[in-house]
Amino acid sequence: MVKHHGVPFLEKKQSELIVNQSNKNDIRKILGNPSTTSKFDNDIWIYIERKQTQSRLKNLGKMKIFKNDVLVLEIDGYGILKKKEFYNKDDMENIKIVETTTQAGFKKNSFIYDFMSSMRQKINDPLGQRAKKRKETSQR
C-alpha cells in the first residue's frame, strides 16, 4: 500500500521551470497551487511530494517514507522565478539542525516583564473590577 501526498512527479515537473524566465502563471500551470507560501523580500512557494509505504511485518506495519521531495521557489515582485532549489530525501538527511535553544530576553525582575504583566492585567480586567471585588471580600 502506497500513500501519496503532494504534487506527483515533482522532480520531473520542476525541470520544466526556468529561472529568470518562468512566471507565476507558468508555475501554477505546471505544478498547481503551492503546498505552502511565505513572504519575505520575495514570495517563497514550497511544493512537496511524499510517498509512504507500509514496512515489512517485522516492523509491525509502520509506514516508511521512501520518497520525500521538496521544491522551494523564490519569485520576485514582478512574478518571475528568481531561484529554484530542489531537495530529495538524501539531501534532507545531510541538513544539520542546530540543537541549542535561545534564552528568554527578559527575567522576572526586568522592566519589560513588569510592563507586559501590567498590560496583561489591564487587558484581562480593563475597569479594575476584579481588584475591587478582592478588596471587598478581604474586608469582610
DSSP per-residue letters across 4-45 = EEE-TTHHHHHTT--TTT-BHHHHHHHH-S-SEEEESSSEEE
pLDDT in tens, 66-108: 788 888 899 998 999 999 988 887 776 666 666 666 665 545 5
pLDDT of residue 69: 86
What are the two backbone dihedrals, phi and then psi, of residue 33, each rounded to the nearest 5 degrees? -75, 145
**Which domains are assigned to the chain?**
2-93 (3.30.1450), 102-140 (no CATH)
Q: Which three cell numbers stand for residue 87?
A: 531537495
* pLDDT above 60 (res 123): yes
pLDDT of residue 103: 63
Predicted structure pTM score? 0.60
- Amino acid 36 reads T
**pLDDT band at residue 38, thresholds of 50, 70 and 90?**
confident
pLDDT of residue 27: 92
